[in-house]
Amino acid sequence: MVSSTDIAQRIIEAILAQRLAPGTRLGEQNLSMLFDCSRTLVREALVRLAARGIVTVSSRRGWYVVQPSHDEAREAFEARRVIETGLIRRHGAVDKAAIKRLRQHVKQEQAALKGSDVGQRSYLLGDFHVCLAECLGNQLLADTLRDYTARTTLIAMLYQSTHDAVQSCQDHVAIVEALERGDVPEAERLMEEHIGQVQAALRLAPVDDPLADLRQALAPVKPPAPVSPSSTPSAETYLGALL
C-alpha cells in the first residue's frame, strides 16, 4: 500500500532525475490514478512537499512544481554552500566505511556518464551530496540537502545551466580523495569551489536588471546583409537571405 511519504519521495526522485520540469502541473486526480490511491493521500504528499518548498498551489492552477525566482536560486545555492562546507568542517576525519560508500557512489556516477540515461546521471550527481551528508553522520541535514538539491536541480533546468556533468563528477572524485587523505580543509575548499561553479553556470540576469530576459527577447532583429544582384549565391547561402 503506497503512503504519502512514498508519493512525495517519488516526486523528489523525478525532479532529481530532471523528469519533472519547473512549473509542471501535478493534478490530484492523475496522481491518485497513477499511484492507485486516494486523493487524500496525494494531497497529503503535496502539502508536505509544499512545506518543503518543492511544490506550490494556486487557486486557479492547482498544484505544480515550483519555479524558483532569481533571488530564490541564489538563496538555495547559498544554503547548500553553508550546509555542505559546514558539515565537512565540523565532522573532520571520515572513516573507511564512509569512504568506501562514497567511492562506490562515484563509480556509479562514472558509469552513468558513459550511458545514455540522462535521468540516472542527473539523479546520481545530485544524490552524491545527500550521500556525503549521510556518511558524515547527519541524517537530518541529509534530508534537508535532498530538498535543496531538488530545488537547485529545478533551478538548473529553469535557468539553462551550462555546467558540465563530467566536471561535476570529477569534482566529486577530488572531494572524496581529499577526505580519504584526511585533508579536511582541502575537501571544504573543493566543495565551496564546486558549488560556486555550478551556480556560476546558471544563466541568471543581473540583480539590477529585472527586465533582462524580456529585453533580450524583444531586441530588434537585424536585417540580412544586402546581396549584390551580380553575385551568384553559393550552395551554402541561407535561402532566407535571398528573399
| 166 grid coordinates | 563530467
What is the pLDDT, as a whole number, of residue 162?
A: 83
Residue 97 CA to residue 81 CA, distance in Å, equals: 25
Describe the chain by its helix, strand, coil percentages, rounded to 5: 65, 5, 30
| 218 grid coordinates | 524583444
What is the pLDDT, as a whole number, of residue 238?
A: 38
Domains and CATH numbers, the chain: 4-65 (1.10.10.10), 70-200 (1.20.120.530)
Other C-beta atoms lying within 10 Å of the C-beta of residue 85: 17
Residue 191 CA to residue 187 CA, distance in Å, equals: 6
The β-bridge partners of 56 are: 64
Q: Render each residue's pLDDT in the chain as its tens digit; 243 residues.
A: 899 999 999 999 999 999 999 999 999 999 999 999 999 999 999 999 999 999 999 888 899 999 999 899 999 999 999 999 999 998 878 899 999 999 999 999 999 999 999 999 999 999 999 999 999 989 999 999 999 999 999 999 988 888 889 999 999 999 999 999 999 999 999 999 999 999 998 887 554 556 665 666 677 776 665 655 554 444 443 333 333
Among residues 7, 6, 15, 5, the alpha carbon closest in space to that of 54 is found at: 15
What is the pLDDT, as a whole number, of residue 212?
A: 60
Residue that is written with C-alpha cell 520540469 in the block:
21
Residue 13 CA to residue 19 CA, distance in Å, equals: 9
CB 80 within 8 A of CB 145: yes
